[in-house]
Structure 1
Amino acid sequence: MTGYAHPLPSARAAQLPGHGLLVHEWLAPAGGSEQVFDRIVADFPRADVLCLWDDRGNRYPDRQVRETWLARTPLRHHKALALPLTPLVWAHQMHGTYDWAVVSTHSFAHHVRFSCAPGMRKILYVHTPARYVWEPELDARGDGALARAASPWLRALDRRRAAEAHTLVANSHFVARRIARTWSREAHVIHPPVEVERIASVRDWRGRLDGPEAAVSDGLPSEFVLGASRFIPYKRLDLVIRAGEAVDLPVVIAGGGPEEEALRAAAAPARVPVHVVVDPSDALLYSLYQRATVFVFPPVEDFGIMPVEAMATGTPAVVNVEGGAPETLAGRPVGAVFDAASPASLREAVETACSRHRATVADHARRFDSRLFDDAMTSTVVEAVSAP
């Protein structure tokens, strides 16, 4: 993740009246929702920032980031334990005068309330309604006895809080349909921002690598299937290994997380070489995108920023047919979709993607560039705040 950039000049954002607030769940050092929120913060340079806690520190050097009381407890290091408390934290958090708020939510941030500002406008950017409440089959945190018992109450509360928002924006059409199904609200779609122009502007990212990462890069094969994400079970990185075996190409998997040893154990018996690159810098990750034959993205995701990043370098993407990731392809000949339950489908998708023209792929990625997000998001907020 590239992180926060300096505030962007925005004529539309300058039209916003009054005092604004930008809200997010917890701010992890890296992550897709954090990447979106970084851009929102840059788009509205006069607004305050509020989150449950900030694990990166000094993330926005030109802002004061307000944290909730959870930040001063050991719970900030245990998201699963803190999660059940967060609706109550948000419900009693904000006692101040704000005219509008943009809330980036994938759990309960949209529950934030403003007791002293009855006429304010709340605009939600929804990564997803909380999966562990609404679709526990996709999130194991909702599968326990206590979570199941609390689910009816949480669903009713979650729907009420969503009803308080003036405007809802979904990060994909897949999520917009989930919002309609769970909250009975309509949302329009603004796809997440991707640094397409920045990634595409460097002809060869290997020239930006330092000594140790240059050595890592030099040790990789000339052709390979690439996968990249956090090393956690639902990312299904084992399917990246299966993809390499299906087309007899080496595999490179980049990322980091608690399942590193399990991933290495899954890679050991593979019929092709598997290289694990831990915690790559942006430059190394972009270099891997450039060099890869194909990028394989197996999880059922709400959207999928990484496939677009790979396509920005001209590398075609193979994505799961379920979820929002197919929207990154938009039905164009820039990759392929596969059914995770079918090995034959995975092999066919990789073979199809490998035949795509890299120039076409790179040109397609520009439709997701962050500047388009900036324009759409600032226009949406201005229209919501200015509406009668």
Structure 2
Amino acid sequence: MTLDSTAQLPRLPLLADRKVAMVHEWFGATGGSEAVFLAIADLLPHAERLVLWADEGVPTEQLRLSQSWMSRTPLKQSKALALPAMPLVWRTLTNRKFDVVISSSHAFAHTVKLGDPAHTRHLSYIHSPARYVWSPDFDGRGSHPALKVPRKMLQAADLRLSRHVHAYAANSREVQGRIKRFWNRDSVVVNPPVDTAYFGNAPQADQYQSRDYLLGIGRWIPYKNFDLIVEIADAAGLPLVIAGSGPEEERLRKLAATKQVHIHFEVRPERDRLRQLYWGARALLFPAHEDFGIIPVEAQACGTPVLGLRRGGLLETVVDGETGFLLDGLDPAPYAAALHRLGELSRYRIQQHAGGFSADRFADRIARWIDHAAR
């Protein structure tokens, strides 16, 4: 199907005459997949919203989230331990039947079955097939040799319990390829929404910063390669700001203390502060293999170029040589050298490109997909 057609947009709210359920994995206080779920829910205000559990601090009543029985067990404290039980929980979630089910899945939400497939249309938006099951090289939770047999069992269950899904949407071409490779299913690509309007319209004082430091943002976990970000800044002789949080904090602080350049840590910055950091940075360093990557788009909405790994979602979100530079491998030297070429880039062009991933564009494309696939 063509999502960018000039055909008339479907009427809102979508599927108003049908009984609709929206399903998501666990619901964290912040996160890209949660933002996608809520953006879709805005188009379907009458839909019931079902999740395995919600983390502490999530306003479940305000968001109208119904939690499964797993939320009343200790399993909610450990996603790794909960993982093998998830397919079963989804199958016992409710005895109610729906006309349309829309799942937002990065683990097993797409295996939920809330009606006879002959009468219930199941559409699934995939953030990624479960990395710890299908791509253990990405996620250490599934890479231990002792998990090889359980992983095979979960793969078989994933395939068997998702046959009833009628249509898939992938958040990137990277994920579209995994859906085909692992599940042998076709999908359309609908990139997730990024609040480019918010990040692009900062106060004047933020916009006129000196842009004298490099920036790394994200969860401080191994595959994000924050240690490489530190090495790049040191090789370039430029100060660095590292924003986020995670289990690697102590190790990264010790590494930073061995470097000559000034490295400042911002732990869990608020949204306004995050925007300020984007606008003040000379470049965002993002040498990680991501499914899509919302952070690089937020940076570009602020006119900040991205230096990243030539893999995964960055191949879609960064135009090499126009909105940043994509490099091969994990050697800091080429990244440091590319920083000398930032003057070749137009900040106006960088912001213009980021606009293609706006929340409005997502709403348009996902509405067309739902309207078509739910028939």
TM-score, normalising length: structure 2: 0.91
C-alpha distance 380-250 of structure 1, shift in aligned 2 (>3 A): same
Q: Distance in 2 between matches of 1:243 and 1:371?
A: 35
Deviation at residue 61 of structure 1 after TM alignment: 4.8
Q: Distance in 2 between matches of 1:354 and 1:241?
A: 22
Alignment gaps of 5+ in structure 2: 1-9
Q: Which amino acid aligns with 2:38?
A: D
Residue 143 of structure 2 corresponds to 143
Asked whether 1:71 is paired with 2:60, we answer no
Deviation at residue 145 of structure 1 after TM alignment: 4.1
Give deviations 1:100-148, integer Å, cap 9, x for gaps. Answer: 1111111111111124675111111111111111121221221234421
Residue 120 of structure 1 corresponds to 120
Q: Distance in 2 between matches of 1:27 and 1:205?
A: 35
Residue 311 of structure 1 corresponds to 300
Alpha carbons 1:206, 1:283 under 8 Å: kept: no
Q: Distance in 2 between matches of 1:26 and 1:148?
A: 24
Residue 236 of structure 2 corresponds to 247
Number of aligned residues:
366
Asked whether 1:281 is paired with 2:270, we answer yes
Alpha carbons 1:233, 1:259 under 8 Å: kept: yes
Residue 6 of structure 2 corresponds to none
Moved more, 315-324 or 334-343: 334-343
Q: Which amino acid aligns with 1:226?
A: L
Q: Distance in 2 between matches of 1:348 and 1:267?
A: 20
Residue 26 of structure 1 corresponds to 26
Q: Which amino acid aligns with 2:290?
A: E
1:257 pairs, out of 228, 242, 246, with: 246
Q: Which amino acid aligns with 1:296?
A: L
Q: CA RMSD in A?
A: 2.2
Q: Distance in 1 between matches of 2:93 and 2:350?
A: 45
1:375 pairs, out of 360, 364, 367, with: 364
1:357 pairs, out of 346, 371, 374, with: 346
DSSP 3-state at the match of 1:138: coil
Asked whether 1:269 is paired with 2:258, we answer yes
Give deviations 1:250-269, integer Å, cap 9, x for gaps. Answer: 00000112221111111111
Q: Distance in 2 between matches of 1:353 and 1:302?
A: 25
Alpha carbons 1:90, 1:112 under 8 Å: kept: yes
Q: Distance in 2 between matches of 1:140 and 1:378?
A: 35
Moved more, 37-46 or 71-80: 37-46
Q: Distance in 2 between matches of 1:58 and 1:315?
A: 31
DSSP 3-state at the match of 1:103: strand
2:222 pairs, out of 208, 224, 233, with: 233
Alpha carbons 2:196, 2:355 under 8 Å: kept: yes
Deviation at residue 92 of structure 1 after TM alignment: 2.0
Superposed, which structure 2 residues align to 1:43-82 within 5 Å? 43-57=43-57, 59=59, 61-82=61-82
Q: Distance in 2 between matches of 1:201 and 1:39?
A: 21
Residue 92 of structure 1 corresponds to 92
Q: Distance in 2 between matches of 1:202 and 1:341?
A: 33
Alpha carbons 1:68, 1:93 under 8 Å: kept: yes
DSSP 3-state at the match of 1:198: helix
Moved more, 311-320 or 109-118: 109-118
Deviation at residue 354 of structure 1 after TM alignment: 5.2
C-alpha distance 231-354 of structure 1, shift in aligned 2 (>3 A): farther
Q: Which amino acid aligns with 2:363?
A: D
C-alpha distance 310-74 of structure 1, shift in aligned 2 (>3 A): same
Q: Distance in 2 between matches of 1:22 and 1:174?
A: 24
Q: Distance in 2 between matches of 1:326 and 1:99?
A: 37
